[in-house]
Structure formats: C-alpha cells, structure tokens
C-alpha cells in the first residue's frame, strides 16, 4: 500500500513542481520573435521567418495565423514578453485599434507595407473563360439588387450569368468563397462587390447620406445557395472547381499561381489576374498587405530587428526576391525604398490615438 501511495504523492509533487518551474520560466523572457495575424500574410511571413531562422544565430520566429483582427487585438493587449512583437494584417490598422493599443501602453507602432495580393475569381481550366465587370459580380452575388425604380431593392433574382448580363453564357451561378471571418472575403466584398455596387448612382449617393445602409447593400452576399461558403481552405476550393466546371471560386493569387494547369482566373474589368497586372495596379481586385511592429520590443526581443531587416531586404520582397516566387506582388522600387527606410529608422505610425 505504502508504495502505491508514495507513488501518488510523488506524482502530485512532481506535477506541482513542473507547473511552478514553467511559470518561472515564462516570466524570465523570450528568445524568439512572436508574430500573430492574418492568414493571408502567413504564407509570406513564414518563409521570411524560416530563412531568417536558418541564416542567423537567432531562433526561428513563431507565427500564428489568427486572422487580421484577432492578431491586432492580441498585439494591442500590452507591451512585454507575453505579447506579440508583430501583427500581420491584410488591411491597414483601424483608428479604433490604434486607440485600444494606446490604452494598453502600445504607443509606438511601426507600419510596414510589404506588397500586394490579388484576389482571383477562377474556374476550372476546361470551363468558359469569363470576362466580368465588377458590376456583374455585384449583380450576381449580392443578396439584394436594385429594382426598377430608384431606391427600390429586390431579392437577387439572377440564377444564370446570362440573367446578369446578356453577353455572358447561360451558366448557373455557382460560386465558392471564403467565410465572413476571412480577410479574403472582406477584401473581395470591398474591392469587387462595392466597386460594382457604386455603379448604380442612387446607391453611390447613399454612401454619404446613410453609410450603414450603403454598406448593408454593397457588402451583403446572397444566401440562397448560389454562393457557397467553402471554408478557409483554398486547396479545397481548387479541388471543387476541378470537379464542377461551371462553378467559380474566390481565393488569393498565390493559389492560382500554384495551380495554373487546373484553374484559370476570370478577367475583371477586362484585366486578367497576372503577376504584372496586379503589380502595376491594373487588376482592380488587389489589396496591400501589412505588418505592424512594436517599437518598444526592438532590441529587447532577440532577433526582432534582424527579422524586420530580412523582411524588408531586396532578396525577400524585391522584384525577384523569394517572396515574389510565393505569389506576393512587390511594390514599386521607390515605395519599397521608402518603407525600408522607415523600418530602418523605426518611424512610428502617423495616426495617433485619439
């Protein structure tokens, strides 16, 4: 009996000791860079982190894909080793986030724009090649579309692409896209749908008069089965497109780039989603990608300065850098130069907390 009992007692003590030593360790510090944020920036940030980790004496940064909003929230929670050093984001930081950062003592934030990402509207390689305008996309995918009279909205009656625009083929509208939690969805809604939505004059006029209603009209995607939320896994969308040549999918350019022989991107406003068209801004559905760094952590967290330098080096984000191989569209030379200089000097964000 005493043996078994002693074993129990020992385990209990060991457990307690383990927990306590871990707590002590956690407070001691952190010897790696901790990055959170957007799952769109994740594929690029991870490549930089790995090259940096292997090429320097520092540990490889840890990168969590939490989504842009979730990442900025963690980032703004405070200053210290328990909080992330960098937040990746597929959109610019909001005023409300700057304020909440400031409330927690995170005052000096360095904004780093890293390049552009295109969002493609693609179908299987064997399917029809489509040339769509943003207005077509809006009319095909919005929950409610403008009716006969000004100010009137009707539930989206379009079932085929020909209903939307007689020039398009009479194929049933079937679109697979990311869920509302995704940054890709946000960007698609803002850049493609809103762009098409504004083509209707009375809705464009609403933007000033009633911003909430304007957003509700332009940003709400139909829920009658024509648009299917396919989850965050873009590989899955590509597979489904292959199985159904009439279906279209919405995903990031890097997935199109990797699956060129399976899927093709539709032309939007007459421009095909190619590397060059996104780089020079002709392709309308593209967005800048960012990350935000805490100035207070530089030179406190080992490797943070080096990681910033690696990310903003020509071999990473340059015209022929390794990030462009992964589908990140580089910024023009002059802009890269400016951002790199700002990172070197750790120039904090211009917008201040209110």
Partner 1 sequence: MMNTDRTTRQKVEAGLPRRRRKEFTFKVLGIFATAVGILFLGMFFASLIGEGASAFRQTYLQLDIELSEEILAPDGELDLAYADFDGLVRTALRRELPDVSGRQERRELYRIVSIGASYQVRDLVAGNPDLVGTTQTLWVPASSTVDMLIKGNIDANVDEALRPISNKQIAWVETLREAGRLDTRFNTALFTNGDSREPELAGIKGAVMGSLYMLMVTMVLSFPIGVAAAIYLEEFAPRNRWSDLIEVNINNLAAVPSIVFGLLGLAVFINWAALPRSAPLVGGLVLTLLTLPVIIIASRAAIKAVPPSIREAALGLGASQTQVVFHHVLPLAMPGMLTGAIIGMSRALGESAPLLMIGMVAFIVDVPGSFTDPATALPVQIFLWADSPERAFAERTSAAIIVLLGFLLVMNLAAVILRKRLERKW
Which residues contact partner 1 by CB under 8 A? 1, 4-5, 8, 11-12, 14-15, 18-19, 22-23, 25-27, 32, 34, 42-43, 45-47, 49-51, 53-57, 59-60, 62-65, 82, 125, 232-235, 254-255, 257-261, 320, 326-327
Of residues 123 and 156, the one with the C-beta less far from partner 1? 123
Q: Which of 272, 236, 240 is nearest to 253 (CA)?
A: 272
Of residues 84 and 195, the one with the C-beta less far from partner 1? 84
- State in angstroms the smallest separation of the CB of 39 from partner 1: 8
- State in angstroms the smallest separation of the CB of 237 from partner 1: 11
- State in angstroms the smallest separation of the CB of 213 from partner 1: 35
For 61, the token pair is: 């940064």
- State in angstroms the smallest separation of the CB of 354 from partner 1: 27
Give just the sign of the alpha carbon dihedral 217, 164, 126, 257.
negative
Residue 260's alpha-carbon distances to 44, 124, 150, 253, in angstroms, are 20, 10, 43, 10
- Report the half-sphere exposure of 242 (CA within 13 A, side-chain side): 11
Of residues 57 and 345, the one with the C-beta less far from partner 1? 57
d(CA 202, CA 145): 12
- Beta-carbon contacts of residue 328 (< 8 Å; ≥ 6 apart): 44, 114, 115, 116, 117, 254, 289, 317
- State in angstroms the smallest separation of the CB of 323 from partner 1: 11
- State in angstroms the smallest separation of the CB of 134 from partner 1: 25
Of residues 15 and 95, the one with the C-beta less far from partner 1? 15
Of residues 188 and 255, the one with the C-beta less far from partner 1? 255
Helix or strand run (H / E) with residue 324 = helix 322-325
C-beta separation of 125 from 244 below 8 A: no
d(CA 295, CA 230): 38
Of residues 73 and 215, the one with the C-beta less far from partner 1? 73
């Amino acid at each position: 009996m005493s043996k078994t009992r002693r074993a129990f007692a020992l385990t209990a003590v060991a457990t307690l000791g383990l927990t306590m030593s871990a707590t002590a360790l956690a407070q001691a510090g952190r010897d790696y860079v901790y990055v959170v944020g957007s799952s769109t920036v994740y594929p690029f940030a991870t490549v930089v982190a790995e090259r940096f980790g292997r090429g320097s004496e520092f540990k490889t940064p840890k990168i969590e894909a939490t989504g842009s909003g979730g990442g900025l929230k963690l980032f703004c929670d405070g200053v210290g080793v328990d909080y992330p050093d960098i937040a990746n984001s597929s959109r610019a930081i909001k005023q409300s986030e700057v304020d909440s950062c400031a409330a927690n003592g995170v005052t000096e934030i360095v904004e780093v724009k890293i390049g552009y990402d295109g969002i493609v509207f693609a179908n299987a390689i064997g399917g029809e090649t489509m040339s769509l305008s943003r207005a077509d996309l809006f009319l095909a995918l919005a929950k409610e579309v403008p009716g006969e009279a000004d100010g009137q909205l009707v539930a989206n009656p379009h079932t085929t692409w020909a209903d939307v625009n007689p020039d398009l083929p009479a194929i049933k509208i079937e679109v697979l896209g990311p869920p509302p939690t995704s940054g890709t969805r946000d960007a698609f809604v803002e850049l493609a749908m809103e762009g098409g939505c504004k083509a209707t004059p009375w809705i464009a006029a609403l933007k000033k008069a009633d911003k909430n209603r304007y957003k509700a009209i332009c940003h709400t995607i139909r829920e009658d089965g024509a648009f299917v939320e396919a989850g965050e896994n873009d590989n899955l969308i590509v597979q489904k497109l292959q199985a159904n040549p009439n279906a279209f999918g919405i995903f990031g350019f890097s997935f199109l780039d990797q699956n060129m022989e399976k899927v093709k991107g539709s032309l939007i406003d007459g421009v095909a989603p190619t590397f060059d068209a996104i780089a020079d801004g002709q392709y309308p559905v593209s967005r800048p990608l960012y990350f935000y760094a805490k100035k207070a952590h530089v030179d406190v967290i080992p490797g943070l300065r080096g990681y910033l330098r690696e990310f903003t080096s020509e071999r990473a984000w340059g015209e022929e850098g390794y990030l462009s191989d992964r589908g990140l569209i580089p910024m023009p030379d002059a802009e890269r130069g400016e951002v790199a200089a700002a990172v070197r000097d750790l120039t904090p964000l211009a917008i201040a907390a209110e």
